[in-house]
Every structure is written in C-alpha cells, then in structure tokens.
Structure 1
Amino acid sequence: MPARFAPILFSAFLSAIMVCIVSAFVLAMSQGVDSEFAAQWFRSCISTWPVAFPTVAIVAPWVRRMVSRVTA
C-alpha cells in the first residue's frame, strides 16, 4: 500500500479497534454476556464503525496538532 494512504489506513484501523473494544464493553456492562452477545456485538460494531471511521479521519489531524502544541 502506498504511504500516501497511511492516514486513511490509520483511521480505519484505529476506529475499527476502538469500536470493537468499546462496543463489547458497553454491551457487556449494559446487557451482560449471554448466548446472543456475539451477534449483538457484531451488529453494534457494524452499525457504529461507519460513524467512527470518518470521525477519526477528521479529528486525528486536529488532535495531532493539539498534542504537538502541548508537548513542544
């Protein structure tokens, strides 16, 4: 993959990982873990990732600038 796609790939990976972890945690805390957990978790991931991916893609450069200002 060409390096110019790194920001998009970063956003895709980060958002997918965060969606998987956070949706599993929220689902387990709110409804518990039962036989339907995996199916509910998958639906939750599929429905929230389309929101998380563009959010990370838009917000990540801004956050990087904020961090560089604070740490410089």
Structure 2
Amino acid sequence: MAFLKALPLGAFLTWIVSLFIGSAGSTGGYLAIHKLAVADYTILWSWPLFVVATGLALGILLLMK
C-alpha cells in the first residue's frame, strides 16, 4: 500500500525537478530529461529520476509507519 502512495509523490517530485532543470535547456546528464507528450500536452520528464524519487518517497513512507 505504501508503494501506491509513493507513486504520485515520486511523479510530482520528478515533474518539479525536471521542470527546473529542463526549462534551462539542459538534459541533466544521467537524468536524461526529455519532453514527454501526454495527449495534447508536453511535459518534461525523466524516468531515472522518477525511479529514484519514488524510492525516496517509499522509504520516507515506510519510516513513518
């Protein structure tokens, strides 16, 4: 159950960090920030950052138990 709670938190953190780094025109090196097309919208996204952010959120949620 904690993993399902961590997914939106990881997505939000990924979106915020990718927005700040990607808006300057950088790809973030290992973060591999790219434009992701969702329906009619384009957002900046990073899959490696999403995995790390979700793991961080999961760890914090498990520590709160």
TM-score (norm 1): 0.52
Q: Counterpart of 1:54?
A: 55
1:61 is displaced (CA, Å) by 4.5
Stretches of structure 2 lacking an aligned partner (at least 5 in a row): 27-33, 37-43
Aligned residues: 51
Q: 1:8 aligns with which of 3, 12, 27?
A: 3
* Cα contact 2:10–2:51 (8 A) shared by 1: no
* Cα contact 2:6–2:58 (8 A) shared by 1: yes
Q: Give the superposed CA RMSD.
A: 2.4
- The letter for the 2-side match of 1:49 is F
1:16 is displaced (CA, Å) by 0.7
Higher helix share: 1
1:55 is displaced (CA, Å) by 1.1
Higher strand share: 2
TM-score (norm 2): 0.57
- The letter for the 1-side match of 2:4 is L
Q: Counterpart of 1:31?
A: 25
